[in-house]
Chains A and B, each alone.
Chain A
Amino acid sequence: MAKTIVQEFTKGLWEEIPPFRLVLGLCPVLAVTKTVANGIGMGVAATFVLVCSNILVSMLRKIIPGQVRVPCFIIIIATFVVVVELVMQAVAYPLFLQLGIFIPLIVVNCIILGRAEAFASKNPLAASIADGLGIGVGFTISLGVLAGIREAFGAGTISVPFSETVIQLFGPSFQPFTFMVEAPGAFVCLGLVLALMNLAGK
């Protein structure tokens, strides 16, 4: 069953949206979704790496020998991750300080290696770009939603990505529910969103 380019893109937004449908790449999802700005920043960085690595893997899919495909994918992915790391340091240094170790860890993010192996290495260029873009945008949305819930309850704020603006939601008498911005809160939140999505998908 061949899918159109549009279908390849939109499947990343609901059918296969990471990390809810493809339960992959949970480490950054749980760790960086304390604030919306961090979540979206991470999502954009991962999307860039995902699209670029899908492009290269798809273009080189006939040249790369099967036995060494994983090392080749890792080289490609790692290169783009370092590019992201350097560019982020140059243009968004505070975000880089916040995300810290999780930027280099995009190299071993299962979603990106998974898409390279499962999709880009078997499909033509246009479909691979659409796939990378779809999954990347889906990942960014998921991180944004998760971070939005956690930040709203845990800190009573919503931070606007790529700026220093922070919107206060509930006024001065709000008592922050700090559990939500701690690690266990991330699991609970992820579980609840997953449950809601399963319910909606029925």
Chain B
Amino acid sequence: MRDIIRMIVVLGILAAVSGFALWGVKTGTAAKIEYQQLKFVKGPAIKDILEGCSNDPLVDRFKIKDGEVERGFYVGVFDGKANAVAYETSGKGFGGDIGVMVGVNLETDELRGMGVTTHAETPGLGSRAKDDPSFRAQFKGLSINEPFKVKPDGGQIDAVSGATITSRGVCQGVTDSAKFYTRLKPQIVEQARAFAK
């Protein structure tokens, strides 16, 4: 009996100490990890979408609280006006969630571009949604307020061949994001204005 208690106590203390230590490390590194992810995962997509802007969208960013979640927005300055933002949304893909970066022109509500950030799709098939520029280019210039659908679903987007589910997931992500974009638009415009030069 005493042996059992000793085992439980030792294991319990060990687990508790380890839990606290990890909490400490996690809090200590959280800010740094966020910046690194920004630089290496989201950075390329944001730079691609907001190509030609005169500021650094990775620095000019803000967050808006949307109910439970906090959403990040990256501002692009064109012709001296902060008239574009990029933000991340997600859609359901074949192998899990797909992170989709969407860039919207604040004046016309048209998409400036779309890019995939994180995904777990099949290499060579679904992964082309991220790598194939002609798939991404189809989103450019479309209005955010229309639903995005792949052609087999009666929409306007040519799916990546062999990756209809992935393409559908991306479209779904962009369409869903229109809801919070519209809801938050007054706040977005106001906050973005601060970054105009």
Contacts and interface: CB of A to CB of B under 8 A. Distances in A.
Interface of A: 60, 63-65, 67-68, 71-72, 75-76, 78-79, 82-83, 86-87, 89-91, 93-94, 97
Given A67-B7, A86-B33, 19 more contacts: A65-B3, A65-B7, A65-B10, A72-B10, A72-B11, A75-B11, A76-B14, A78-B18, A79-B21, A82-B22, A86-B25, A86-B26, A89-B29, A89-B36, A89-B37, A90-B33, A93-B37, A93-B40, A97-B40
B179 interface: no
30 contacts: A64-B10, A65-B7, A67-B3, A67-B7, A68-B10, A68-B11, A71-B11, A75-B11, A75-B15, A76-B14, A76-B18, A79-B18, A83-B21, A83-B25, A86-B25, A86-B26, A86-B33, A87-B29, A89-B29, A89-B33, A89-B36, A89-B37, A90-B33, A90-B36, A91-B32, A93-B36, A93-B37, A93-B40, A94-B40, A97-B40
Nearest to B18: A79
Interface class of chain A by DSSP: helix
Interface residues of B, number: 19
B28 to A, nearest CB: 8
Interface string B1-29: 00100110011001100100110011001
B96 to A, nearest CB: 14
B10 A83 contact: no
Contacts, number: 53
Contacts of B32: 90-91
A65 B33 CA distance: 38
Contacts of A63: 10
Nearest to B32: A90
A60 B13 CA distance: 12
Contacts of A82: 22, 25
Interface of B: 3, 6-7, 10-11, 14-15, 18, 21-22, 25-26, 29, 32-33, 36-37, 39-40
